[in-house]
Structure 1
């Protein structure tokens, strides 16, 4: 795992059961994220002794009538990266949130391992959008190449370049399960765009076509 200081994380969710489950899961999931606050309301976050933190996992659906753009702006001013969670996928809300400066947006039905990846991406200033939401955002873009996150592009380049999943996971310092989840997301995004990358050969050809992989990067004997 990374040797840098752990990412200091706060979670804000007014569903106490989910808040408890998320807190417990993240604490046991990885050593590079430290849970420093788990609160049920926006004011509790701002007045918490550990605030400001590095990243906030923020529930979009808090019943406080405060605009999400205002919350994101407040966190940004404090130097805090924001990853949003929601129980539903509303493309307009996602666009508003990203426009306001959110770096991540997850639907709560997303695979648990993706929460950790979203937090890590945000801490590095990279965007991370839930696969379900990304598909909703690109629903009208059939025919064009889908938008991949920086980590998805890395996975596609390595895997398309001939590396087995285990090697991809090792080189990117992620679990094999997470690497497989990324490949699943990549293939689903291309499928919705009307492009079949179901096989490794098809994925490799598409990676070259989209400029993610250069033919000179290909190991000998892959053709």
Structure 2
């Protein structure tokens, strides 16, 4: 599958040196499929770094350099680099603008460390990654609306809702069991935020059918 042989080449850009140091240490030990090749504090340093262009850039939205974030994202897109943004806050219109410019992920800095790894992996596949709370903020917080799932989340929900055990879901999608579990956790969280409880496999299956992710005919194979 995708990134099994070649690690994802990652660059970090954050002007808080302490956070940059902590993130650097953490990512180096967290995921064998992610290789941190650059950690810099300014935008020009990224563009002139010998390892640039990388696969994914984890970019601090709040760099105080007066360069519009949309310009940074489009510059990275032109060089084939995927962008995941980090910020200390989540102003919905800023998030919308960044996503419209082509950012694939948006993380608040208080996010779980595992979610940062997930966002980097999703971006390297060209998929978007937004936390449940941000999804709610961006989409106006309509309880009762169907949450927006990424393509990979829909695949996980379809396979798991269709009766596959987590191990099999992971195998079919070429991801680790832990990653499959974290996708399920996020799917449940997105539905919870939207006002639906899909805590059990049966509830999740029903919801997948109602939302058109699973067809009624996709019965579990065990039956």
Under a length normalisation based on structure 1, what TM-score does the superposition of the two structures give? 0.90
Aligned to 2:197: 196
Structure 1 residues 221 and 80: CA distance shift in structure 2, 3 A = closer
Displacement of 1:163 after TM fit?
Answer: 2.5
* Residues 1-223 of structure 1 aligned to structure 2 (within 5 Å): 2-220=3-221
Query: Which stretch shows the higher mean deviation, 209-218 or 116-125?
Result: 209-218
Please state whether the residue corresponding to 1:26 is helix, strand or coil. helix
User: What do residues 134-172 of structure 1 show as CA deviations (whole Å, max 9, x unaligned)?
Assistant: 121234332221100112112211221223334434443
Displacement of 1:20 after TM fit?
Answer: 1.3
Cα distance in 1, alignment partners of residues 10 and 221 from structure 2: 44
Please state whether the residue corresponding to 1:56 is helix, strand or coil. strand
Cα distance in 2, alignment partners of residues 217 and 95 from structure 1: 35
Contact 2:164 2:220 in 1 (8 A): no
Cα distance in 1, alignment partners of residues 116 and 168 from structure 2: 22
Structure 1 residues 14 and 101: CA distance shift in structure 2, 3 A = same
Cα distance in 2, alignment partners of residues 29 and 167 from structure 1: 24
Cα distance in 2, alignment partners of residues 220 and 182 from structure 1: 22
Where structure 1 has 5 or more consecutive residues not aligned to the other structure, the ranges are: none
Query: Which stretch shows the higher mean deviation, 182-191 or 114-123?
Result: 182-191
Displacement of 1:220 after TM fit?
Answer: 4.3
Once superposed, what is the RMSD of the aligned Cα atoms?
1.9
Cα distance in 1, alignment partners of residues 24 and 219 from structure 2: 42
Cα distance in 2, alignment partners of residues 10 and 166 from structure 1: 31
Where structure 2 has 5 or more consecutive residues not aligned to the other structure, the ranges are: none
Displacement of 1:221 after TM fit?
Answer: 5.4
Alignment length, in residue pairs? 222
Displacement of 1:196 after TM fit?
Answer: 2.5
